[in-house]
Chains A and B, each alone.
Chain A
Amino acid sequence: GAVVSQHPSWVICKSGTSVKIECRSLDFQATTMFWYRQFPKQSLMLMATSNEGSKATYEQGVEKDKFLINHASLTLSTLTVTSAHPEDSSFYICSAKRTEKLLSGNQPQHFGDGTRLSIL
């Protein structure tokens, strides 16, 4: 169980295009999802925390208007990179934490397979 699906896995597009990435929890509900960015041979950097039904919480230095996050249901969060430019090229990974009221906050995050974004 605890499968997170991320789509698309790879996208190449022209500069100026907006790109939407989907993150779905397939077999569990996730009130909270996380979006990370990873540059080659570097670690994951948290971009924002996505909360179902409310506004996302962005990390310092991450542009809210550039990286639009929508978490409209308990199983889906989307990240839209607006007017993407070559410097936005990166590996984007989402994760989701199972929401079960009776459980403690020790639930692990389950990660998607990532989306490789290449902006030409």
Chain B
Amino acid sequence: KQEVTQIPAALSVPEGENLVLNCSFTDSAIYNLQWFRQDPGKGLTSLLLIQSSQREQTSGRLNASLDKSSGRSTLYIAASQPGDSATYLCAVKETSGSRLTFGEGTQLTVNP
């Protein structure tokens, strides 16, 4: 059974700092990995999707990497802003179907 773990569970940083969120998964046979943002009481917004054959994806100040063999992904946020404060979830899609398995998220607070 696929298990997804995110470290740290919570992170508080001053504005402007670069930061890294970590995601690990137990079964490396994944189809793709996706990073989401969730604001309090809201649904999920997709940030980046990395196919299993890719090593990284970039969107603006966000960069996500994938090391499938070691079962790890990182989300790098450059020059963090207070508006980046949210919970960040990673999820893996398994090869066999459409199921997404989510980590428990990292709650990020960027202080002005």
A33–B45 Cα gap in the complex (Å)? 16
A114–B101 Cα gap in the complex (Å)? 18
Q: Smallest CB-CB separation from A9: which chain B residue?
A: B41
Tell me whether B42 and A109 are in contact (CB under 8 A): no
- Of A41, A93, A116, the residue contacting B44 (CB under 8 A) is A93
User: How many residues of chain B get a CB closer than 8 Å to chain A's CBs?
Assistant: 24
Majority secondary structure, B binding face: strand
- For B63, what are the chain A residues with a Cβ–Cβ distance below 8 Å? none
- For A34, what are the chain B residues with a Cβ–Cβ distance below 8 Å? 98, 100
Majority secondary structure, A binding face: strand
Tell me whether A43 and B102 are in contact (CB under 8 A): yes
- Of A97, A106, A110, the residue contacting B32 (CB under 8 A) is A106
- For A6, what are the chain B residues with a Cβ–Cβ distance below 8 Å? 43
Tell me whether A112 and B98 are in contact (CB under 8 A): no
Interface hits, B39-92 → A, CB 8 Å: 41-46, 49, 51, 89, 91
- For A109, what are the chain B residues with a Cβ–Cβ distance below 8 Å? 46, 98, 100
Q: Mark A90-113, 1 if CB is under 8 A from B, else 0.
A: 010101010000000110111111
Tell me whether B43 and A46 are in contact (CB under 8 A): no
Which residues of A come within 8 Å of B, CB atoms? 4, 6, 32, 34, 41-46, 49, 91, 93, 95, 97, 105-106, 108-114, 116
Which residues of B come within 8 Å of A, CB atoms? 4, 31-32, 34, 36, 41-46, 49, 51, 89, 91, 98-105, 107
